[in-house]
Amino acid sequence: MGRERYALSRVTSRTQNHEYPVSDRREKNHTRAVHRADPRRDRALQQGRAGGGDPSRLIESGSGVVDAGVTLARRNPGAQRLALLRRDACVPDDLAPLLRLGLQARARTEPGLRSPDLQAHDEVRHCGSPSTSGTRCSSRIRKPVRSSRISPPPVAYVDPTTIEVKLRQGVTFHNGDALTADDVVYTVNWQNDPANTKVASRSRTNWIKQAEKVDTYTVRLHLTKPFAPAMAYLVANVPIYPAAYTKAHGSEGMSKQPIGTGPYRVTEVSPGNQIVLERNKNYFGGVRGQPKINKIVMRIVPEYNTQVAELLAGNADFIWRVPKDMAQKLKGRKGLHVMVGDTMRFGYLQFDITGRPGPMAEPLRKLEVRQAIAHAVNRKQIVEQLMGGGSVVDLACYPSQFGCASKSAVHYEYSPAKAKELLAKGGYPNGFEIDFYGYRDRQLAEAIMGDLAKVGIKTRLQWLQYSTLRDKVRKGEVPMNFMAWGSSSINDVDRSTAYFFGKGPDDTTQDPKVAELLNKAATEVDPAKRLALYDEAHAIITRNAYWLPLFSYAYFYAMTKDLQFQPTPDEIPHLYRTSWK
């Protein structure tokens, strides 16, 4: 990553026309922010690109970017500023509420797009599926329809490959432009344009063939084929860009001054230094309501030790992704509160059984060997003793995701004796040697390697950068790896199980039956039938021990005791809901 740097800045807050410096904890109202720097991210910002040149990476930074935390400083309820502590310098997904546009709804479950447990957000509500003709609406909609007459559902299927979206009227971008169908059409078609080389991830919208403007506030999305997880993708992964502003200023303009519709607007982007956000006075409200804090100042600090020091000194109010040992030391400190929250990110061991890695991977082609590995790793002990949070997972997905359940799946308990028995049965009574690849959480990787050594499997650690390891996996050069996946916070197994077993570039099993089941499930609009397909796919995957799902990750948060905060599994500190006690 090169040499990291940090910058601490003087932050003040105005209350009753008086300014108080942050250098004295005793002063009344102030906020300080520290944030970990990533020079590569800084350079991307300076060059007008983030996340591979896609300006949306300024709006939602994606999995693995949130590395540290938020610092808030307030000494009484009149404080107007909130400060953030992070490790990289782009506007992150944890601040998505400040910027996200267009289709906003978070789905905790997604049974065929008609779940009663859907929580709508901001610009759009959603109802129905092709099988229900849009007749069933979410019961979690908090904001009542202003008209007494029955209105058509804001999002509904016209037919199995056409979704009609009714945009909320009266929503404006931070620069004053109205949000209209033109912005949605521009975003989708720009994202899907093969000539557009600035797109970081086409999977957000590549299932949409074309976006069509019906009228000023109505859009039709024409799909390439029936796509059951459509709503899960729309509500979690498709930010809408202001068409006129983006055309005029391009990616560089969006990097320097991101424009959205959310409760906060960006007023300053200083790469490697800080990002300043201010309350959007013209925010329409939605189910989020108005934020409680007027200003957010996010400073960049590279080291966890410095972050903790800032918190202890009263210069920071909130930090997240705190290392476990540091979080434990902070517990019980006067004036501080430490909490842990589970996330959708899960770790896994992946085996390449295609024969591509060569003779070294031959043992992994034996079912008994893969089953032995599954019995050899003490996942529960790793969670409890090393991670201090999270939970053991048995399927290649996160439990809250739609389809992440199976009555037929095989579960592997920790049993070194059973592992040795299976190794002998597979022709390796004395074990074998193999390369073990990883890129993160070295302590966890070494614990897994230690468990494998106890049953006779000797591993040689190969430690790489993520992108390098990913490319080697896709080329078939890696026999076994320990990696993690966050599903882009999309609450559907189409973004986890299907991603890794649907015959895509990351599928190291290439099982045609599993791929067939998963691809069929993606187009099956009947929730019960879709669940049955996933159940069968999970059964085959676990019975053959194609993977060893390990555990979900937990994040530690440390904050001043005055702060009201609730963690969520999507790895995003939702700051618009943060308040002072």
User: What pLDDT is stored for residue 558 in this prediction?
Assistant: 95
DSSP 342: E
Look at residue 22 and tell me if it is in a domain.
yes
Same domain, 459 and 360: yes
* 185-188, long-range: CB < 8 A, 24+ apart: 185/211, 185/212, 185/213, 185/219, 185/243, 186/241, 186/243, 186/246, 186/247, 187/102, 187/211, 187/238, 187/239, 187/240, 187/241, 187/243, 188/221, 188/238
Residue 32 falls inside a structural domain: yes
Q: Which of 240, 275, 300 is the last residue of a domain?
A: 240
Q: Are the CB atoms for 562 and 74 separated by under 8 Å?
A: yes
CA distance linking residue 432 with residue 387, whole number of Å: 29
Look at residue 6 and tell me if it is in a domain. no
Directed axis angle between helix 367-376 and helix 442-454, to 10°? 120
CATH number of the domain where residue 217 is located: 3.90.76.10
The pLDDT tens digits along the chain (581 residues) read 332 222 222 222 222 222 222 222 322 333 333 333 333 333 333 333 322 222 222 222 222 222 223 333 333 333 445 555 554 443 333 333 333 333 332 222 222 222 222 222 233 222 233 333 332 222 222 232 233 334 556 888 899 999 999 999 999 999 999 999 999 999 999 999 988 887 777 888 999 999 999 999 999 999 999 999 998 998 887 888 999 999 999 888 888 889 999 899 999 998 888 888 899 989 988 777 888 888 888 878 888 999 999 999 988 888 889 999 999 999 999 999 999 999 999 999 999 999 999 999 999 999 999 999 999 999 999 999 999 999 999 999 999 999 999 999 999 999 999 999 999 999 999 999 999 999 999 999 999 999 999 999 999 999 999 999 999 999 999 999 999 999 999 999 999 999 999 999 999 999 999 999 999 999 998 999 999 999 999 999 999 999 999 999 999 999 999 989 999 998 888 888 888 88
Per-residue confidence (pLDDT) for residue 153, from 0 to 100: 67
User: Do 543 and 413 share a domain, yes or no?
Assistant: yes
Rg over alpha carbons for the chain, rounded to the nearest Å, is: 24
Residues 388, 322, single domain; the answer is no
pLDDT at 61: 25
* Single-letter amino acid, residue 401: Q
pLDDT at 256: 86
Angle subtended at Cα 234 by Cα 171 and Cα 396, rounded to the nearest 5 degrees: 150
One domain, residues 143 and 229 = yes
pLDDT score for 239: 85
Q: How far apart are CA 423 and CA 313, in angstroms?
A: 54
- In the prediction, which pLDDT does 253 show? 87
Q: Are residues 265 and 377 in the same domain?
A: no
The conformation of residue 161, written as its DSSP 8-state character, comes to T
The predicted structure's pLDDT at residue 127: 27
Could you tell me if 531 and 422 lie in one domain? Answer: yes
Q: Under DSSP, is residue 522 helix (H, G, I), strand (E, B) or coil?
A: helix
277 with 215, same domain?
A: no
CATH at residue 533: 3.10.105.10
Q: Looking at residue 343, what is its pLDDT?
A: 95
Q: What is the pTM of this model?
A: 0.76
Query: How many domains does the chain contain in total?
Result: 3
Residue 271 maps to which CATH number? 3.40.190.10
Q: What are phi and psi of 33, to 5 degrees?
A: -135, 140
Domain termination residue (choose one: 210, 240, 270): 240
5 is a domain residue: no
Is there a domain that residue 393 lies in?
yes
pLDDT of residue 85: 57
Domain-embedded: residue 2: no
What 3-state class would DSSP assign to 299?
A: strand
Within this chain, do residues 367 and 493 fall inside the same structural domain, yes or no?
Answer: yes
One DSSP character per residue, 375-425 reads HH--HHHIIIIIISS--B--SSS-TTSBT---SS-------HHHHHHHHHH
Q: Could you tell me if 372 and 432 lie in one domain?
A: yes
3 located within any domain: no
Last residue of a domain, one of 186, 205, 240: 240
Q: Which domain holds residue 109?
A: 105-240
**Is there a single domain that holds both residue 368 and residue 496?**
yes
Q: CA 156, CA 127: separation in Å to the nearest integer? A: 6
Helix (H, G, I), strand (E, B) or coil at 269: strand
Q: How far apart are CA 313 and CA 299, in angstroms?
A: 16
| Whether 134 and 213 share a structural domain | yes
Q: 353 and 329, same structural domain?
A: no
| Domain assignment present for 573 | yes
